Structure 1
Amino acid sequence: MNPVMKKSFAILSLSAMITAGTAYGVRSDTYATALMNGNHTVSFSMKEEAKKLQATGVITSIRMDGDHALIHIQGVGTDGLVLNVDKDTVFQMADGTKLSLADLHVGLTVLAEHSMVMTMSLPPQTPTSKVTVLDAKIQKDLMGTAGRIEEVRSENKDDLRILVKGEGLTESSPSEVVLILTKATAIVDKNGSKVATSKLVKGANVIGFYGPALTKSLPPIGTAWKIVVADKEE
């Protein structure tokens, strides 16, 4: 494991450190654990670690490392939140149907139950106990491109296309793509809440998710499954 990934998963071993403190006779409700993150130290008690928060967002990347993974939601780059998940994390659909980590993919809107404890990195990382998929169904093989809308084309109200230039989110995703929007295309903000189509204007920052079927043109053309409007609220 490279140094970056080691730091990323360091937080997952905190419970062992807490156990060690208890073994030495320290009261479990006051024992403080310190997490090193770069030049910063984050200290917390078992009570703090046990408390849970919830966050919703669209998955923009999943980095695997054995039974562990880093799931980035609510943005790309230094934006958003990274969920540290492992074999003890529960994965499910909104109706309770069980899932596995392997079922998750970019583009899914999820509700995460995670610890109050977070690293001071950008984006922050946090241990996650449950991930619930809020979409009606899993859509395998999705690709994604994050960037700016360079052009909006509309022949009529039922024909809207946007040209997105930026960076591909998966190995096979192009950095530039024309996305065709249909009635089935979900348009949401970084938290997965619906937003108006009128937000899709030239210059807007978006993250487009689409199926693997692309034309061989330059830029390629595909059908949008979900568009995340990534511009920050004013």
Structure 2
Amino acid sequence: MDYFGAPFQDFLQPSSNIIRVENAVIEEVNVETCETGYILISYTVPLPNSGNQNEQIRLNVSRYTIIISQYGAPLSLCNLEVGMRVNAEFSAAVTSSIPPQSSAYSIIVIRDESNTMVTTDRVVSNDAVNGVLTTGNPFDLSEQISFIISDDTIIIGRNGNRIPLGQVKPGQMVIVEHADFQTMSIPPQSPAYRVKVI
């Protein structure tokens, strides 16, 4: 299943006891622990004749639920917020309650341009092999952030041309446009959309 290029909200029929929803919106987040709780999502179902129908479902999250960014960075229920867009896979065994409930297998947070932050800081380290650029205070992990660099990340050098990640050096100042969420790791991680060396 290609989660990364969904141009519109789409609902796919159950397959192998799994239902897949793309480009859904989180309407509510209830956290018991960062591993357990639920989210309420809304999505659009195309009708057979014409038009669409809005649906909602409560997805129960357990420690077995996979929660990641579209770039593969691990997240937890604590990272999810109302308004985020997600692709989700959940059990076809759905309750008849209102709203219906199901067990979530995977939740993938997809990029939303309106939820972009900008960080300007000095590069601490650059792991070009694994696609991780870390900025912040080189002497304090709690004051650092690691940016996940994907094939979609645009990296611009001082001359204004695109450069590979390997050309970004520790000590250089960078402006990073990135997601407004991050993992709970130390240092935290966040997907980077654009990196500019200044």
More strand by share: 2
Looking at both structures, which has the greater relative contact order when contacts are Cα pairs under 8 Å and sequence separation is at least 6? 2
More helix by share: 1
Larger Rg: 1 or 2? 1
Q: TM-score, normalised to structure 1's length?
A: 0.42
